[in-house]
Structure 1
């Protein structure tokens, strides 16, 4: 018995409806939860901007770039799944990072102790634009922002700001966060090259001795904040994709994290340092 032809237009409409409903519910829930968790007990004022570009040695800005990048990356791939034409999927999906991150700045803009950050808005926009640029240029991601984290002693010095447990510290303790750009070297080489396609090279950025966001207050507490730069091998997890959707989805999610590996560090205080295994 012959099978009925697949109605691709109907499938596309159904998937778009699922995405739209899911996004609407999730987006609203995020805004409500964010307002309740972060801002409900804060003193509010009229909307204003606050220049925080000198704070945290800009590790927070790297975090905004990383977040917006992967939100936009997911937006593009979800629209592809829904059957949206390629260029529209890239351009519209690429806006997701900005759409998700901008409300945070709006909420911040009404807080008396700080305000909306132009630097954060720029980092969000650049993160989303970096996905769109790569997709338009190469039809794939060749330079993947990644994140790694290790606990530090600084969180115990100010747990209310840097986190009192592992989950909070992974989000708030900038001393333990490292942000990477993992380069898919093999994608830039000739297809006949013998370079292992699973091996990426990653450059990382972090900082230490940051307990207070204001540099002067931090220095007054006897802390000498400094930047750290890293070079490390990395796994191109997307190389290991197979036929299993569950396996491929797991690789997709894990690809935002830098796999622990040996690393070479440079900072102005200690010069070069080799880490046998760096998180």
Structure 2
């Protein structure tokens, strides 16, 4: 599996380089982005294949329908990830001198493309399989970024993530993670995905605070297994959570300091704790610091 994945990586990098070769852009910057990104991505895939798939081994390629698992929280994670990959890639390509439209397009293509090898690895795994639901979510996240750029020349609706540790991880550490780093990725009970809506950009009202956004959140609770009947067998009644609250748009903060710009760029993908009202099938409630 290592060789096909490596060849696919080289193909993606070569295609991107060919797409830009006739443009009058700073070659050193673009080469740096492609080289560092390619090496880092290749190392990540190699490490993942050794750590995640080594003990399982590989079998014949198969498909797997996991759309009913985890209250679709994993699909929200795929959507969020490819959107952020596209956002980061767009920033890097623009820094390298690529024009705005082309940067957004190729960053969105890369956003989905970066996860294709991982989905293929899953397809050869005896414990998983190639999930078409994951691929749809991956494509949707990148398309959401590109669509807004084409429609408005800006991102008016930004996917964000918040996380807190839960006691449920101890109930199933092999699935939900053991320790903060693993739980951040695996424990869907502690994750909440948000859509931060830029009211100022839509309303065009100069007197409305630019930094104040409307936040729509989605989460789920009481999940120690993927499917509802599995949770019920273990005495857990999983349920969805919907949130309506506020968010802070840090992209409107102006600064000349590069380190602060970088920090604000990173934080703009995270939902900072803020007031939100939770709706669920059990008991709706107000959170003064929802995260």
Specify which of 183, 205, 209 is matched with residue 196 of structure 1.
209
Q: Check whether the contact 1:155–1:211 (CA below 8 A) recurs between aligned residues.
A: yes
- TM-score computed with the length of structure 1 as normaliser: 0.93
Give yes or no for the alignment of 1:273 onto 2:269: no
Find the partner of 1:35 among 49, 60, 67. Answer: 49
Determine the C-alpha separation between the residues in 2 that align with 1:87 and 1:255: 21
Aligned ranges for residues 84-103 of structure 1 at < 5 Å? 84-103=98-117
Match of 2:193 in 1: 179
Shift of 1:10: 7.1
Q: Unmatched 5+ residue regions in structure 1? A: 1-8
Deviation at 1:43, TM superposition (A): 3.8
- Offset at 1:211? 0.3
Structure with the largest fraction of helix: 2
Give per-residue Cα distances to partners, 1:50-109, cap 9 Å, x unaligned.
Answer: 000000000000000000001011111211111112221111111121121111111110
Q: Structure 2 matches for 1:1-279, cutoff 5 A?
A: 12-190=26-204, 192-270=205-283, 272-279=284-291
Bigger mean CA offset, 257-266 vs 97-106: 97-106
TM-score by length of 2: 0.89
Contact 2:194 2:271 in 1 (8 A): yes
Shift in Å, 1:24 = 1.7
Indicate conservation of the 8 Å contact 2:215/2:245, yes or no: yes
CA distance, structure 2, for counterparts of residue 35 and residue 44 of structure 1: 10
Structure 1 ranges of 4+ moved more than 3 A? none
Deviation at 1:11, TM superposition (A): 5.7
Separation in structure 2 between the aligned mates of residue 154 and residue 196 of structure 1, nearest angstrom:
39
Q: Aligned pair count?
A: 269
Is contact 2:199–2:212 with CA below 8 Å preserved after alignment? yes
Contact 1:59/1:174, CA 8 A, preserved across alignment:
yes
